[in-house]
Amino acid sequence: MKFRAIMGALCAAGLMCGVATAQAAESVEVLHWWTSGGESKAVGVLKDDMQKQGYTWKDFAVAGGAGAAAMTALKTQVISGNAPSAAQIKGPLIQEWASQGVLVNIDSVAGDWKKNLPPEIDKIMHAEGHYVAAPFSVHRVNWLYINKAALDKAGGKVPTTWPEFFAVADKMKAAGIMPIAMGGQPWQDLTLWEDVVLSQGADFYKKALVDLDQKTLTSDKMVQVFDTVRKIQGYFDSGRTGRDWNLATAMVINGKAGMQFMGDWAKGEFANANKKSGSDYVCAAVPSTEKAYTFNVDSFVFFQQKGQKAATPGQLALAKTIMSPEFQEQFSLYKGSIPVRLGVSMDKFDDCAKKSYADEQTAIKSAGYVPSLAHGMAQPDAAAGAISDVVTKFMNSSQDSKSAVAALAKAAKTK
φ and ψ at residue 202, rounded to 5 degrees:
-65, -35
* Residue 22: per-residue pLDDT: 41
pLDDT in tens, the chain (415 residues): 333 443 343 344 333 344 344 444 699 999 999 888 778 888 999 999 999 999 999 999 998 756 788 989 999 999 999 999 999 999 999 999 999 999 999 999 999 999 999 988 999 999 999 999 999 999 999 999 999 999 999 988 999 999 999 999 999 999 999 999 999 999 999 999 999 999 999 999 999 999 999 999 999 999 999 999 999 999 999 999 999 999 999 999 999 999 999 999 888 789 889 999 999 999 999 999 999 999 999 999 999 998 788 999 999 999 999 999 999 999 998 888 999 999 999 999 999 999 999 999 999 999 999 999 999 999 998 999 999 999 999 999 999 999 999 999 999 997 6
Q: What residues make up the domain containing 172?
A: 143-294+374-411
344 within domain boundaries: yes
Give me the helices (H) in 345-380, please: 351-365
Structurally, how many domains does the chain consist of? 2
Non-local CB neighbours of 96 within 8 Å, separated by 6+ positions: 380, 381
Burial of 7 (0-12, 13-18, 19+ CB in 10 A): middle
* Per-residue model confidence (pLDDT) at position 3: 35
Q: Are 298 and 155 in contact (CB under 8 A)?
A: no
Which whole-number Å values give the CA distances from 166 to 187, 228, 229, in the listed order?
A: 23, 10, 12
CATH of the domain at 56: 3.40.190.10
Asked whether residue 249 is assigned to any structural domain, the reply reads yes
pLDDT at 156: 80
Residues 123 and 147 in one domain: no
Residues 272 and 156 in one domain: yes
Vertex 351 angle, CA 345 and 357, to 5°? 50
Residue 271 lies in a domain: yes
My answer on whether 195 and 281 are in the same domain is yes
